[in-house]
Structure 1
């Protein structure tokens, strides 16, 4: 009795090496397609992953100290964060709210003072004439205000989604890790897992360094402005600390409200405020960041600025904010996947 041999399909004839290459190409092709078609969604997921890494790191440290499972450590960190934010809100919310109202009230008058001072110079008069006055009650302004309110609700919704991504990712990262690794061929899953671990470690190191830098910038800026006598020093320090997440451009954005508030008090106070921001920025750039990056991720400044310009132009504010961690991740992947895996296998040239 003869047995009929079934013809082998193309998938069965595929070599192991071919399957490895196809699996890698499929994963990166899908990521590239998502980045092209849904960049905002992919960047939001990446931001959620960053926050999940931070929560998991803090949760693991808490779990080690309390001798509990890591998931319970994450839950403890979340509970502590909620309690801390609630207590801080009860203690500082009235002061911050009052300072926000004062900032909202003083900025227009500061802009008027700046405009009056600038009109003393002919070049400034020409510039103001070109820009022209804007009618705040025009239909276009009302439309802009409506769009701003709509965007605010959109940002709040995105923040909630980001928080859920971070919580679920921090509580059970292994489920999503196994799902991602299942997309690769079995023969390279161990290597993919190793590279994924290195990528996560890179992002973790960058996050810890950035949090230290943001905290120091916020505290020093607030203290410096308080010593100078600028109003709303607490709020301005908080703004400076938060915007320090964005290297290079963040400090410039943070300095704008502080300088505007100092304009009515004269050139001397403006110079002191600018001096505070410059001193904190120099201290952060040349002392704090080098110290915290000795054992973390060190990125060339030119590369960071170029990445910020590129991602900011392509994806807007979220691209600008996430340009640095994306650059750190890209450098790690390029080093592991291209330089060490491909280029270093090339034998040196025979110079004889």
Structure 2
């Protein structure tokens, strides 16, 4: 077997085994690459504005980003903490209020009995709580790892790209380098479009809730913006706490809150996302939803969150490696055999 085929087979097997045996590691590494694309894109903006070298531009962008986050939390820390505490204190009451309303119906009583809330304080519930705490600390550790991977890859991308290219046969190295560059551009394009969508969704949701007099509008807007990172499913998760709180405010507030989220989601789906993703990353909604279901079942919440960038990169690889490099280079032998003898040589 030619060496170039062996190098492709080895790379494919390594990636496949990584996702099968240690999927959490694979997803953390991919998250680090996504972070690197974000820092690299921001560093590129700083470089074009200041004309300083790329490494210093990325460092300056990272520093400005940290200062901006620290400044926002410093200026609004009291308000944000108060709203978070109020949200945390009101959610249990809202759930209890919903439960008391549902208990008026026989079918709801049967459903609540099957839910068995007492299980929360049983041994099984204790193990679930312990798992949740462990997962929280694991998430914090993963975030640190993702941040460091992102910084290192963003500052010196040539080293890591060169190392990946050298794993392939010499005849494949120029094309491999080109594909890796296209992967980086795909991630940057998707991330830029997604950040714009998230910002618009968070701002519009917060303003809409504020106009209708909904309590905790600011923090609910932040939640909506952050969960917009997960297309299609994120907005459904974001509306849940808002509807729970609105349930205690009365039927009219419930309708107004649903209208705000529905309006923002419609605007995001049919206006914002098509505009910001035009000529960037073209993904069909059905493909995204199918990928979210698949990665959510296989890899949990992190897989659900990363489904869309994974599909974007996968789609680009299929287009370049399978369609362009394989299918479109097949010589039309069968067509030539069907032509008359005299026409084959024309």
Q: For residues 319 and 201 of structure 2, what CA distance do their matches in structure 1 show? A: 31
Alpha-carbon deviation of 1:217? 0.4
Partner of 1:127: 111
Q: For residues 307-327 of structure 1, what are the alpha-carbon distances to aligned partners after superposition, in whole Å with 9 as ceiling and x for unaligned?
A: 111111111111101010000
Q: For residues 169 and 307 of structure 2, what CA distance do their matches in structure 1 show? A: 30
After the TM superposition, which residues 227-306 of structure 1 pair with which residues of structure 2 at under 5 Å, given as runs? 227-306=211-290
Partner of 1:7: none
Q: For residues 183 and 136 of structure 1, what CA distance do their matches in structure 2 show? A: 51
After the TM superposition, which residues 75-224 of structure 1 pair with which residues of structure 2 at under 5 Å, given as runs? 75-134=59-118, 136-224=120-208
SS at structure 1 position matched to 2:117: coil
SS at structure 2 position matched to 1:297: coil
Partner of 2:209: 225
Number of residue pairs matched? 336
Asked if 1:342 is matched to 2:313, the reply is no
Q: For residues 96 and 328 of structure 1, what CA distance do their matches in structure 2 show? A: 34
Alpha-carbon deviation of 1:145? 2.3
SS at structure 2 position matched to 1:294: coil
Q: For residues 144 and 194 of structure 1, what CA distance do their matches in structure 2 show? A: 46
Give the alignment partner of residue 6 of structure 2, picking from 13, 18, 22: 22
Partner of 2:344: none
Partner of 1:70: 54
Query: What is the CA RMSD across the aligned residues, in angstroms?
Result: 1.4
Alpha-carbon deviation of 1:83? 1.0
Alpha-carbon deviation of 1:136? 4.6
Q: For residues 21 and 124 of structure 2, what CA distance do their matches in structure 1 show? A: 30
Report the more deviating stretch, 226-235 or 206-215: 226-235
Alpha-carbon deviation of 1:135? 5.4
Q: For residues 231-260 of structure 1, what are the alpha-carbon distances to aligned partners after superposition, in whole Å with 9 as ceiling and x for unaligned?
A: 111111101101001011100000000000
Asked if 1:55 is matched to 2:39, the reply is yes
Q: For residues 48 and 318 of structure 1, what CA distance do their matches in structure 2 show? A: 13
Give the alignment partner of residue 294 of structure 2, picking from 278, 286, 310: 310
Q: For residues 160 and 48 of structure 2, what CA distance do their matches in structure 1 show? A: 23
- Any gaps of 5 or more consecutive residues in structure 2? 340-346
Partner of 2:27: 43
Q: For residues 202 and 337 of structure 1, what CA distance do their matches in structure 2 show? A: 15
Alpha-carbon deviation of 1:283? 0.3
Q: For residues 126-160 of structure 1, what are the alpha-carbon distances to aligned partners after superposition, in whole Å with 9 as ceiling and x for unaligned?
A: 21222233255434333332222222111111111
Partner of 1:328: 312
SS at structure 2 position matched to 1:97: helix
SS at structure 2 position matched to 1:208: helix
Report the more deviating stretch, 123-132 or 198-207: 123-132
Q: Under a length normalisation based on structure 1, what TM-score does the superposition of the two structures give? A: 0.92
Q: For residues 347 and 166 of structure 1, what CA distance do their matches in structure 2 show? A: 43
Alpha-carbon deviation of 1:334? 0.4
Q: Under a length normalisation based on structure 2, what TM-score does the superposition of the two structures give? A: 0.94
Q: For residues 134 and 280 of structure 2, what CA distance do their matches in structure 1 show? A: 39
